């Protein structure tokens, strides 16, 4: 059955992964970018039927761990580096080095060839210019600014239990400040947060619609909403932007490894890199220029200048403890 939607699919209920000539792919790419990338992959491999399940990062992590005794997928695609190094997930993967993968710098690849990251994203605020003015507020430039009592009830954030964007925001703040000071800061920030939303993109949509002044989201959602005409400004927090890499990997139990490897080979081609560059602020493959619309929206030419040096292994190791503590303190 050829799938046309990015939803839970009946093929995932089969007792084994996809049969020969068919791939089942799990992804956490946003729906619009996942659809665009998949269309290109299908053009490159028209002989292979591609079924895709797209879920928010937290939900996909939980699904993969629940299925680890009998994985239902052939590939991980656009999956958080901070999650793929989880031992419960990494043990389901088989080493594979696609043709061309060595063009990706070593820090963006597993030393054992269990995974490689081709793209990424970073934390950014979507600030509604009109609501900001109506409320008489100054443009925030940092996470610290969002703790000002003037922003009470005007900030929305992703829920880190379900959203990869939300988790990397919380994890990076704790890495920046240290555990004690980090949780104290989050206590102050929580006083101004109106709600925590399941998706990483929805806080930006809520701010874009004028429901709140600030939606803590990520770079490309802000850029796309600006280009669609919403009255928002993208703000990259001055403390340094927490960021996430999006990794690809071969699942060891796949029944169609040859086609799965062909797919992974395609993900490091110049064609794929060009596509990533149209959707992603962080592209690990060399070459290409950022679209002018990205720069016009406020993205720096060199994003390394604004990124906080995220420790992905620590983010993965601490995830359960961080989520548990966050839920105890802030879940509503």
Percent of the chain with pLDDT over 90: 78
Phi-psi region of 276 (alpha: psi -120 to 50; beta: other; left: phi over 0): alpha
- Indicate whether 56 pLDDT > 90: no
Q: What's the confidence (pLDDT) of residue 157?
A: 98
Give 66-78 pLDDT, tens digit per residue. 999 999 999 999 9
Say how far apart CA 253 and CA 235 lie, in whole Å. Answer: 43
What is the rounded average pLDDT of the residues 256-274? Answer: 95
Q: What's the confidence (pLDDT) of residue 5?
A: 40
Percent of the chain with pLDDT over 70: 94
**Banded pLDDT at 313 (limits 50, 70, 90):** confident
Q: Which CATH class is domain 10-119+244-290?
A: alpha beta
Say how far apart CA 236 and CA 140 lie, in whole Å. Answer: 10
Q: What's the confidence (pLDDT) of residue 57?
A: 84
| 188 token code pair | 């102050």
**Banded pLDDT at 20 (limits 50, 70, 90):** low
- Specify the range with the lowest mean pLDDT, choosing from 10-14, 41-45, 118-122, 231-235: 10-14
Give 183-216 pLDDT, tens digit per residue. 999 999 999 999 999 999 999 999 999 999 999 9
Say how far apart CA 214 and CA 137 lie, in whole Å. Answer: 11
Q: What's the confidence (pLDDT) of residue 3?
A: 40
More confident residue, 15 or 133: 133
Give 100-116 pLDDT, tens digit per residue. 899 999 889 999 999 99
What is the rounded average pLDDT of the residues 21-42? Answer: 94
- Indicate whether 122 pLDDT > 90: yes
- Parse the chain into domains and list their residue ranges: 10-119+244-290, 121-242+300-330
Closest listed residue to residue 104, CA positions, set 304, 289, 286? 286
Say how far apart CA 165 and CA 180 lie, in whole Å. Answer: 22
What is the rounded average pLDDT of the residues 79-99? Answer: 94
Say how far apart CA 295 and CA 236 lie, in whole Å. Answer: 13
Give 124-158 pLDDT, tens digit per residue. 999 999 999 999 999 999 999 999 999 999 999 99
What is the rounded average pLDDT of the residues 88-105? Answer: 94
Q: What's the confidence (pLDDT) of residue 332?
A: 85
Mean pLDDT of the chain: 91
Domain 10-119+244-290 identical in fold to domain 121-242+300-330? yes
CA-only gyration radius of the chain, Å: 20
What is the rounded average pLDDT of the residues 1-28? Answer: 57
What is the rounded average pLDDT of the residues 216-231? Answer: 96
pTM of the model: 0.78
What is the rounded average pLDDT of the residues 237-259? Answer: 95
Q: What's the confidence (pLDDT) of residue 16?
A: 40
* CATH architecture designation of domain 121-242+300-330: 3-Layer(aba) Sandwich (3.40)
Q: What's the confidence (pLDDT) of residue 304?
A: 81
């Amino acid at each position: 059955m050829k799938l046309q939607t990015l939803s839970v699919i009946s093929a995932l209920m089969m007792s084994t992964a996809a049969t020969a000539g068919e791939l089942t792919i799990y992804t956490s790419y946003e729906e619009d970018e996942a659809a665009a990338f998949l269309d290109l992959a299908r053009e490159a491999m028209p002989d292979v039927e591609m079924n895709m399940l797209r879920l928010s990062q937290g939900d996909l992590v939980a699904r993969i761990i629940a299925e680890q005794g009998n994985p239902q997928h052939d590939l991980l695609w656009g999956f958080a580096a901070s999650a793929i190094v989880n031992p419960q997930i990494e043990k389901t993967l088989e080493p594979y080095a696609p043709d061309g993968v060595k063009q990706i710098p070593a820090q963006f690849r597993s030393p054992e060839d269990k995974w490689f990251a081709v793209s990424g994203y970073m934390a950014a605020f979507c600030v509604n210019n009109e609501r900001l003015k109506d409320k008489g507020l100054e443009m925030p430039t940092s996470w610290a600014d969002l703790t000002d009592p003037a922003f009470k009830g005007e900030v929305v954030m992703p829920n880190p239990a379900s959203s990869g964007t939300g988790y990397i925001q919380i994890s990076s703040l704790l890495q920046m400040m240290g555990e004690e000071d980090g949780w104290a800061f989050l206590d102050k920030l929580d006083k101004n947060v109106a709600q925590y939303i399941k998706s990483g993109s929805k806080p930006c949509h809520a701010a874009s619609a004028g429901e709140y002044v600030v939606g803590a989201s990520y770079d490309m959602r802000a850029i796309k909403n600006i280009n669609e005409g919403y009255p928002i400004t993208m703000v990259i927090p001055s403390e340094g932007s927490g960021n996430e890499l999006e990794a690809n990997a071969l699942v060891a139990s796949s029944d169609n490894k040859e086609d799965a490897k062909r797919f992974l080979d395609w993900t490091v081609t110049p064609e794929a890199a060009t596509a990533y560059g149209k959707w992603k602020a962080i592209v690990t493959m060399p070459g290409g220029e950022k679209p002018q619309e990205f720069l016009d929206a406020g993205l720096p030419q060199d994003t390394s200048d604004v990124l906080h040096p995220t420790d992905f292994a620590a983010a993965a190791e601490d995830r359960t403890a961080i989520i548990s503590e966050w839920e105890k303190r802030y879940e509503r």
